[in-house]
Amino acid sequence: MNCDAPVDAAAAQLARAALRHLAQRRLPPTPDQYAMAWRAVGGADACRGRDDLGGALGPLIAHLLRQLDLPHRHWTAARKKEALGRLLAAHGSETATLVERLNRLIDSWQSVPIDGPADPSALPRVPGPPAGRAATASAAPAGHLVPAAAHAPPSPRLQRIVDDMTDLLVAVCDTVPALVEEEAWVRQQFDAIRDMLRPASGVPDRRDMAQARALLRRTAEEHQRLLKMRRDSLQMMKTMIAQCIDWLRALTESSGRFGGKLNTFVEEIERSPDLPALAGTVRHLIEETRSMYAELDASKTDFVQASERARLLEDEVSRLASELSAASAQVMTDHLTSLLNRRGLERSFDELAGRCRSERRALSLALLDVDDFKRLNDALGHQAGDDALRHLGRLLRVRVRPVDLSARYGGEEFVILLPDLDEAQAAEAVRAVQRALTSDVFLHHSRQVFITFSAGVARVRDGEALDDAVARADDAMYEAKRSGKNRVCVAARAAQ
């Protein structure tokens, strides 16, 4: 891949550092604040060298700062800052790549509608507040109309409260599973809730919170059901043990009485003077034996019935546990495409990479990104965008090999894990999917829509983390975008 000049690389690093400086100090990303942050991280020389950023980076940062302030739906200011921070932390030294990724991040914000007026002058106006409420408000004439946003609580303070509450909920998700013994499904559910509270794109939106609430409620209900059934099973076992003790005690007593009677019968038999007397003693012996057998048979029947009740209860507990495991598997699935979601991908990657490493098998990773997805949303609406993602998800399920794993990584990005293929073979497999997508036409309201994707492929190194492999594939994918889109590029193989 191409490399930028040293001046551009240094300028890109200073730009990232300045934006990170603002995010860490929770400062509003205004142009003045950005200039102060630039001077703070780069000094006077860097400030004088700001003009060396090139024709694209300066206007782009100004545009980025404007977009940070707009109330895009599901994108809070904190979520935007966190997404920006993740982008800057993962970026290398190429200015062109930084510009491309910043543009894509801004496009993702602009792909959703704006909640409320984009222009502060368009804010609704309300009568001025009573005197003394605020210095600026009290200075206004009676009946003067002022922007409603002027009396809104401070945004940084509210955001700190939201962040603190999110941290508290994440801590609860970390703590509660430790209190439940040997319940892996509970841990999986709470891990999923924690992922919803801390999505990869930033802080959660209202839909994330609603899903977390529903999952938490369902987890609590299912856990209560399981606890009740296990308590019933435990009580049944206690009852059975008590009955067994009673039966053994009664059997011991009956055996003692029967043994005493046997001694008596033996003595009577020895003293019997004739056959009629002997026959009477034998008849009594048979009656006592039958009585003893009847007691044993009744005890056996009671024990078998109790054992059957306990077995049925344990079967019900096992059935419920299986249902909970199936529900936990659904937590690993993306609801839109029915592919693995990011959490499912992380778990599958750990297992598959471990097997490939131990068996000395190749493993490649492909990152796919739908081309011009924002344009598709703008032209046909978000429902068309969702339908396009479903279409690609269905295609991946039928076009990749059974041993391959496909996942929706986030937004319009997908990941495929391809075991036993090196990067060249994996790239060819992805190109086959591209050809299939071209021939399998996507229809929206009976209208043919041509969709493509660009992809980057990287061979997973021994012991490499998923995020690192994705980052290398991401670099290759951006090279495919710059090369004209609807292409597949392979990441350079570095030394192990």
Q: DSSP string spanning 302-363? A: HHHHHHHHHHHHHHHHHHHHHHHHHHHHHHTB-TTTSSB-HHHHHHHHHHHHHHHHHTT--E
pLDDT less than 70: residues of the chain: 1-14, 26, 28-32, 41-58, 73-74, 78, 90-95, 112, 115-157, 159-160, 174-212, 215-216, 219, 223, 234, 247, 251, 254-258, 320-321, 323-331, 494-496
Region 342-490: CATH code: 3.30.70.270
Q: Based on C-alpha coordinates, what's the Rg of the chain?
A: 36
Residue-range domain boundaries for the chain: 6-110, 155-331, 342-490
Model pTM greater than 0.75? no
Q: How far are the Cα atoms of 209, 369, 444, 483 from residue 113, in angstroms, in the given order? A: 20, 22, 21, 30
Structure confidence at residue 268 (pLDDT): 73
Distance CA 127, CA 145 (A): 5
| Best CA proximity match to 86, nearest among 62, 54, 108 | 108
Give the contacts of 14 (CB within 8 A, at least 6 positions apart). Answer: 38, 41, 42, 46
Structure confidence at residue 312 (pLDDT): 79
Q: Residue 282 corresponds to which tokens in the numbers above?
A: 């034998």
Distance CA 193, CA 300 (A): 50
Other CB atoms within 10 Å distance of the CB of residue 86: 14
CA 207 from chain centre, in angstroms, equals 14
Which of 82, 222, 412, 423 is the catalytic position? 412
> Residue 464: enclosing H or E segment and its boundaries?
none
Structure confidence at residue 57 (pLDDT): 65
Structure confidence at residue 2 (pLDDT): 38
130-136-138 Cα angle (round to 5): 30
Structure confidence at residue 177 (pLDDT): 63
Structure confidence at residue 62 (pLDDT): 76
For the stretch 301-310, contacts whose Cβ atoms lie closer than 8 Å and that sit 24 or more positions apart, written own/partner, are: 302/243, 302/247, 303/240, 303/243, 303/244, 303/247, 306/236, 306/239, 306/240, 306/243, 307/240, 309/236, 310/233, 310/236, 310/237, 310/240
Catalytic residue check, 412 = yes
Q: Decide: helix, strand or coil at residue 130.
A: coil
> Residue 416: enclosing H or E segment and its boundaries?
strand 413-419
Q: Residue 267 corresponds to which tokens in the numbers above?
A: 């003595």
Q: Residue 97 corresponds to which tokens in the numbers above?
A: 């790549």
CB 491 within 8 A of CB 472: yes
Distance CA 18, CA 14 (A): 6
Alpha helix locations (H) across 25-154? 31-48, 57-69, 77-90, 95-110, 135-138
Q: How far are the Cα atoms of 244, 295, 305, 337, 424 from residue 251, in angstroms, in the given order? A: 10, 8, 18, 65, 77
Pairing label, strands 363-370, 413-419 = antiparallel
